[in-house]
Amino acid sequence: MSRPVVEVARVGRKGEIVLPRRVRSSLKLREGDEVVLTIIENRLVLERRVRKFAAYLDAISTAMSSKDDD
């Protein structure tokens, strides 16, 4: 199991948070990527939203795999 990435970020005047480089790298975030924010009790969970093309490729791969099983 990999070690967790723990960083501290500050909330700006307009509510903006700049994600530290290590967090962006760990999630493979690039400019323009979308993230999903979920609040669970008193925690904020940030997840990288799957890029549409990657999701499309996964769907094709799954369809081809199930077709091969027939």
Assigned domain for 60 exists: yes
What is the per-residue pLDDT across 10-47, written as a single tens digit (0 to 9) for each?
999 999 999 999 999 999 999 988 899 999 999 999 99
Count of structural domains, the chain:
1
Position 9 in a domain? no
What is the Cα Rg of the chain in Å? Answer: 17
Which amino acid is it at 50? V
CATH number of domain containing 48: 2.10.260
pLDDT of 69 above 90 = no
Q: Are 50 and 69 in contact (CB under 8 A)?
A: no
Is the pLDDT higher at 2 or at 26? 26
The pLDDT assigned to 70 comes to 58
Summary count for the chain: helices (H), strands (E): 2, 2
Give the contacts of 51 (CB within 8 A, at least 6 positions apart).
33
Provide the terminal-to-terminal Cα distance of the chain, rounded to the nearest Å.
36
